[in-house]
Amino acid sequence: MDLDKCRYIVVEGPIGAGKTSLARQIASHVAGDALLERPEDNPFLARFYDDMARFALPTQLTFLFQRADQLRGVSQLDMFRRATVGDFLLDKDPLFARLNLSDAEYLLYEKVYSHLKPETPTPDLVIYLQAPVETLVERVRERGVAYERSISPNYLSRLAEAYSRYFYQYEDAPLLIVNSERLNFVADAEHMALLLSRIASMRGRREFFNLGQTA
């Protein structure tokens, strides 16, 4: 796969997997635009981690409105524009909703989602970062975001499992599944070079990358 010819690339993964850092790195590599989630703009997020049952719905809907607004411009992508590299896949949005909402709340969410979801192009490449729950917990604690201190290992475990189920069935775009446990794409240029080499060697619709594997 020629990464420089991709117009729309998405990096995904659970909290702590490193998707935002990698999305920035790839956007820089292809001289593209980074389309990143803005959790700091969601006024309900900190309260959600303290009281999930109470604040799940407003948190989820706020993210949905935000993501839909961000993606409206992506629907106009063409071969003459700079590439766009995102750190979220809107089609995966219901994953969080199903995990956190009650049945009644989820029915409401589904109605809003179906009316709000913009038409967006299928990504040229999706990179799914996965890591053991212990690694996710350690990374979340290391980055020291105040409102993330109350995220429990149990929640991260449920989230990682939901991601695994989702991408096990994902077939909409070419997918590279990356074990990010021993990878640091920001601090180690060699790790980034290995990933780029692995992407260049992709021939199938679903492939895997672990440290030490380059083809």
Give the CATH number of the domain where residue 23 resides.
Answer: 3.40.50.300
HEC profile of 14-68: CCCCCHHHHHHHHHHHCCCEEECCCHHHCCCHHHHHHCHHHHHHHHHHHHHHHHH
- Long-range contacts of 23-30, Cβ-Cβ distance < 8 Å, separation of 24 or more: 23/85, 23/86, 23/87, 24/85, 25/185, 25/186, 25/192, 26/85, 26/127, 27/83, 27/85, 29/3, 29/192, 29/196, 30/3, 30/4, 30/6, 30/83, 30/85
> What pLDDT was estimated at residue 23?
97
Does 103 map to a domain? no
Per-residue pLDDT, 75: 65
Is the pTM above the cut of 0.85? yes
pLDDT beyond 80 at 1: yes
pLDDT confidence of residue 215: 43
Look over the chain and give the mean of its residue pLDDT values, rounded to a whole number.
Answer: 91
- Tell me if 101 is assigned to some domain: no
**Nearest 5°: CA angle at 179, between 7 and 98?**
75
The verdict on residue 195 lying in a domain is yes
Confidence tier at 4 by pLDDT (50, 70, 90): confident
- CA-CA distances (angstroms) from residue 151 to 3, 39, 127? 35, 15, 24
CB hemisphere CA count around 149 (13 angstroms): 4
Q: Give the pLDDT mean for 1-20.
A: 93
Let me know if residue 157 belongs to a domain: yes
In a domain, 56, yes or no: no
Q: How many domains, the chain?
A: 1
Over residues 28-48, the pLDDT tens digits come to 999 999 999 999 999 999 999
**H-helix segments, the chain:** 19-29, 45-50, 52-71, 93-100, 103-116, 133-143, 153-168, 189-200
Task: Give the tens place of pLDDT for each residue, 72-82.
Answer: 877 665 555 78
pLDDT-derived band at 212, boundaries 50, 70, 90: low
pLDDT exceeds cutoff 60 at 183: yes
Place 118 in a pLDDT band, splitting at 50, 70 and 90.
confident
111 within some domain? no
* 49 belongs to a structural domain: no
* 65 occurs within a structural domain: no
